[in-house]
Structure 1
Amino acid sequence: MAENGTSSPAAATAAVAEKKMEDKRSWADEEETALPPPPTATATATASSSGVEAETAELKKIEELTISEGKETSSRLVEPDKSEIKAVTSGDTVYESAVKFEDLPLSRELLKGLKLEMNFSKPSKIQAVTLPMILTPPFKDLVAQAHNGSGKTTCFVLGMLSRVDPSKKIPQAICICPTRELAIQNQAVLLKMGKYTGITSMCAVPSDSANYIPISRRPPVTDQVVIGTPGTIKKWTSAKKLPTRDVKILVFDEADHMLAEDGFKDDSERIMKDIRRSSDACQVLLFSATFNETVKAFVSRVVRDANQIFVKKEDLTLEKVKQYKVQCPDELAKMEVIKDKIFEFGQKVGQTIIFVRTRNSATMLHTELTKEGYECTSIQGALKQEDRDKIIQEFKVGLTRVLITTDLLARGFDQEQVNLVINFALPVKYDTPWEPDYEVYLHRVGRAGRFGRKGVVFNLLCTDMDRSLMEKIEHHFGLWIPEVPNWRSEEDFQILNNGKAAEGAGKFP
């Protein structure tokens, strides 16, 4: 999408030829079964309720939940992932969780968009708890953490749409995202959800060469919602092209990255200060699946008395996403595992994302897979904006099945058909490459588990450093990730494919 917000990524004109694959069940399609503990642990068993009983229990617990400000309140809402949402509030306002969207102060037009365009029947767990906090006066700031694919985007998009007055042609809501891909994706959600409201929006992202307009020639923004990247939004506000005096709500998506020292901290702080200087009543919402302790401490300093929602790190890994590790002797063996084992036995009708660490690795892997006849694309930050848009669009509409990427798409990228993620290389911290980037690992895993769908992740290891990184990831999240016994064995991968092996990542006892 261009910086002026009037054009959309070009769709491919011809379908890409796809390999015909045998229609069989794959790792991501198997029903959940009891997970055995590590070999050294004593197995434990838990009874599960039927679908109807679980649904009844869920509704009952949500109906009973009332989060009162003025004290720390912990509330357990039982869902299939058994995770805990911890809400910390302050003040005198009492919030009641929303059992249905009609319980919220939403316009008829927004409810129509939720039902007809989004096909939502009731709020997810994170939506049930956070939406009353966002939509209830005095509109306090909110710091919210929840699982990837749990419905966070709906929370802040609905919050923005609900606060906008369609009769005023001036920016009233701003959402800042770390990448143009995420900004474009969030605007698409907003346009769909707000279809019947008459609210207009603009995507403020770096423009491609064909649609570049110098900032001096841009007219002032009159759209009511602006979604964009921090550099572009800062440039527009500094040039007085994006008025902020009427901004009622400011959202930071993937807020931990936006406020981290190695992220967009300086630009984000500047934008927040400038908007609060011109619009003191502006509500700030920080959303992410991860908040490390450093970012939490920073947030407590820069965000005024805010409601907070956090999930314990041990509960963040997605239970419906099965995780495996494969020991390979070298990089060539990794390629063989992908081509002859994972693709052969694991890919059914869904899509695959392969994460690499460097741009060179993305190019190399793309070249090798293409030589072998696999239809795939690769994306990384050095590509031109128009090329990135085209690649994303082709993958979004299903013209390509395999996407190779750096961590450019680790955060927030939402594609329902992705059921397989391959970590060709584990993510590491930029300044300490011997330490895993736990937050990025979690975000990568989340690409295969959108909204509780089933998926599988393969971690390919070959060096002592890889094994050390994997062990640190397991211990950080309290996980045991099963290992494929022999990378050469077709039988071992076939066993996984048939669902006869230990399934997914389990908790350490």
Structure 2
Amino acid sequence: MTTFAELGVDQDIVDVLASKGIVDAFPIQEQTIPLGLPGQDIIGQAKTGTGKTFGFGIPVVQRLGLNPAPGVKALIVVPTRELAVQVYEDMDMLTSGRATSVVAIYGGKAYEGQIDQLKAGAQIVVGTPGRLIDLNNQRLLDLSGAVQVVLDEADKMLDLGFLADIEKIFTKVSPIRHTQLFSATMPGPIVALARRFMTNPIHIRATDPDEGLTQANIEHLVYRAHSLDKDEVIARILQSEGRGKTVIFTRTKRAAQRLSDELGDRGFNTASVHGDMSQEARERSMAAFKAGKKDVLIATDVAARGIDVDDVTHVINHTIPDDEKTYLHRAGRTGRAGKTGIAVTFVDWDDLHKWALINRALEFGQPEPTETYSSSPHLFSDLNIPAGTKGRLTTAPRAQSADASKSRDASKSRDGSKSGGESRSSDGRRTRRDRPEAEKTPQAAPAAIVDGPPAPEGSTETEGGGTHDGGGSEHHDGNAAPRRRRRRRGGARTGGAPTV
């Protein structure tokens, strides 16, 4: 392994990385950093989770110097909001020992904060194409001084239809610049883009061309599962021995939220990321997941590339992805930074044809997924689930709520005054039913009324068992005297109820 210091990285950056436990460089970093530092244009081809951000980020920060002048000097373009946040955090860490400011520019958040940072002189901008062009058109973002330009996940930007926006951005930046382009794949339009806007780029592949399509350090398990049993299966998988952070992918936003609510009710610490959530809510979920406050993240595919967490041990495909590329992006959330991982995929009966295509494209050799239920012995053995595990944690909220309800009921039954309907007024004072003299009077009232003549016409039963006829026979101030007068007029009752 090669250290960052051996690659010619400045000591302050080396120290910042070391403080985070990052000392040795990954293959993509070993190959790109020595070329990027002197200003060589680079096309970097590597799968997600191989350390690309530091591969292009360290040369950008180091080439700007310790104290760059205010104004945008470096531009990093990414396809999604989640990836913008991730790259921003990494770049912010790299510049923590320097007078260099980083700002994230993307949609879904208010303009004001981003504009304020630009006006304050931020030198590095990380952003998505739409918001970058928007601010540039409003003359709030000047890109003419950007001499460092990076395109990250270029193939994803092509898939999302950002190619025209990228070309427009290149016309706004400095014509004399250092350009780096990173992509997992190299389709024709990306190659054409590189030829048009880059100067004699060197193409670097971080992996062996003969390496298999899927990562060898990820175990792939494929089950044919019943839709009504999936929640139970997932809940048991989440109790596997050695399970760390887990990402669960669903096909729709509604399914993501439903599953998040269901697993939360079963006692699991879940967060969700999907299109129906505000950008702030999505960022809070991602931050909680990265910090370990939540260990289960439920997401739709829109968030897949923004989940850059090294300690994800399991990826679960609640619904099968539409194609092999999406499968690889999902599975790539685990097994990162050289660690091992497990990818579990559920295939519905109606989606067997999709699995056949993915299986053929990725050369899995599993044409028939194993029929699996929450009670299947092979599920427990495949995923190291302890015997007897059920789909609900003992600390599940529903169980706690039921216990609390029983405790309250028992408390009420022990306290006779509560069963009689005690209450408090809005200002916290005890009402008439709480006063000792009032507690005695209502208890005698039912005996005096039940066997007597019916209540006057138009009267209604009160909560305490007496009557209220709207004519002032019972005062709202709690005076019980009218009730005693009514019993005297009734005379002696059958059964010998004493009069007051």
Q: 1:239 aligns with which of 108, 131, 138?
A: 138
Name stretches of at least 5 consecutive residues in structure 2 with no aligned partner: 386-500
**Secondary structure of 2:308 counterpart:** coil
In the TM superposition, residue 350 of structure 1 has moved relative to its aligned partner by 0.9
Amino acid at match of 1:427: P
**Match of residue 87 from structure 2:** 186
**Match of residue 251 from structure 2:** 357
In structure 1, C-alpha distance between the alignment counterparts of 2:342 and 2:72, rounded to whole Å:
41
**Match of residue 320 from structure 1:** 217
- Taking structure 2 as the reference length, the TM-score comes to 0.70
**Match of residue 227 from structure 2:** 331
Does residue 1:248 correspond to 2:147, yes or no? yes
Q: 1:397 aligns with which of 291, 300, 303?
A: 291
**Match of residue 328 from structure 2:** 442
- C-alpha spacing 1:485/1:316, structure 2 compared with 1 (3 Å): closer
- How do 1:78-477 and structure 2 match up within 5 A? 99-115=2-18, 117-136=19-38, 139-165=39-65, 166-206=67-107, 208=109, 211-213=110-112, 220=119, 222-260=121-159, 262-275=160-173, 279-292=174-187, 295-296=190-191, 298-310=193-205, 311=207, 312=209, 315-328=212-225, 330-340=226-236, 342-344=237-239, 346=240, 348-428=242-322, 436=323, 438-464=324-350, 466-477=351-362
Decide whether the 8 Å contact of 1:144 with 1:288 is kept in 2.
yes
Name stretches of at least 5 consecutive residues in structure 1 with no aligned partner: 1-58, 60-98, 429-435, 500-509
- C-alpha spacing 1:389/1:482, structure 2 compared with 1 (3 Å): same
In the TM superposition, residue 192 of structure 1 has moved relative to its aligned partner by 1.7
In the TM superposition, residue 448 of structure 1 has moved relative to its aligned partner by 0.9
- C-alpha spacing 1:216/1:113, structure 2 compared with 1 (3 Å): closer
Amino acid at match of 1:422: I
In structure 2, C-alpha distance between the alignment counterparts of 1:334 and 1:326, rounded to whole Å:
10
**Secondary structure of 1:411 counterpart:** helix
In the TM superposition, residue 162 of structure 1 has moved relative to its aligned partner by 1.4
In structure 2, C-alpha distance between the alignment counterparts of 1:114 and 1:216, rounded to whole Å:
29
CA-to-aligned-CA distance 1:299-332 (integer Å, 9 cap, x gap)? 445545321123548534221111110012x321
- C-alpha spacing 1:214/1:221, structure 2 compared with 1 (3 Å): closer
In the TM superposition, residue 155 of structure 1 has moved relative to its aligned partner by 0.6
In the TM superposition, residue 411 of structure 1 has moved relative to its aligned partner by 0.9
Larger radius of gyration: 2
In the TM superposition, residue 154 of structure 1 has moved relative to its aligned partner by 0.8
**Secondary structure of 2:182 counterpart:** strand
Decide whether the 8 Å contact of 2:45 with 2:182 is kept in 1.
yes
Amino acid at match of 2:48: N
Amino acid at match of 2:168: R
**Match of residue 437 from structure 2:** none
In structure 2, C-alpha distance between the alignment counterparts of 1:219 and 1:492, rounded to whole Å:
56
Does residue 1:487 correspond to 2:372, yes or no? yes
Decide whether the 8 Å contact of 1:320 with 1:454 is kept in 2.
yes
- Taking structure 1 as the reference length, the TM-score comes to 0.69
Structure number with the higher helix fraction is 2
In the TM superposition, residue 152 of structure 1 has moved relative to its aligned partner by 0.7
In structure 1, C-alpha distance between the alignment counterparts of 2:283 and 2:254, rounded to whole Å:
20
Greater RCO, CA 8 A, separation 6+: 1
Decide whether the 8 Å contact of 2:79 with 2:157 is kept in 1.
yes
Amino acid at match of 2:161: G
In structure 1, C-alpha distance between the alignment counterparts of 2:114 and 2:26, rounded to whole Å:
41
In structure 1, C-alpha distance between the alignment counterparts of 2:151 and 2:50, rounded to whole Å:
17
In structure 1, C-alpha distance between the alignment counterparts of 2:377 and 2:359, rounded to whole Å:
26
CA-to-aligned-CA distance 1:26-50 (integer Å, 9 cap, x gap)? xxxxxxxxxxxxxxxxxxxxxxxxx
Q: Give the share of equivalent positions with the same residue, in percent.
A: 30
CA-to-aligned-CA distance 1:261-313 (integer Å, 9 cap, x gap)? x33222222112221xxx11212212133344554455445545321123548
Decide whether the 8 Å contact of 1:215 with 1:236 is kept in 2.
no
In structure 2, C-alpha distance between the alignment counterparts of 1:216 and 1:455, rounded to whole Å:
41
In structure 2, C-alpha distance between the alignment counterparts of 1:215 and 1:496, rounded to whole Å:
48
In structure 2, C-alpha distance between the alignment counterparts of 1:410 and 1:463, rounded to whole Å:
25
In structure 1, C-alpha distance between the alignment counterparts of 2:365 and 2:191, rounded to whole Å:
27
In the TM superposition, residue 112 of structure 1 has moved relative to its aligned partner by 2.3
**Secondary structure of 1:315 counterpart:** coil
In structure 2, C-alpha distance between the alignment counterparts of 1:169 and 1:280, rounded to whole Å:
20
CA-to-aligned-CA distance 1:106-147 (integer Å, 9 cap, x gap)? 3332222233x33322221111111122123xx232221113
Decide whether the 8 Å contact of 1:325 with 1:482 is kept in 2.
no
In the TM superposition, residue 338 of structure 1 has moved relative to its aligned partner by 1.4
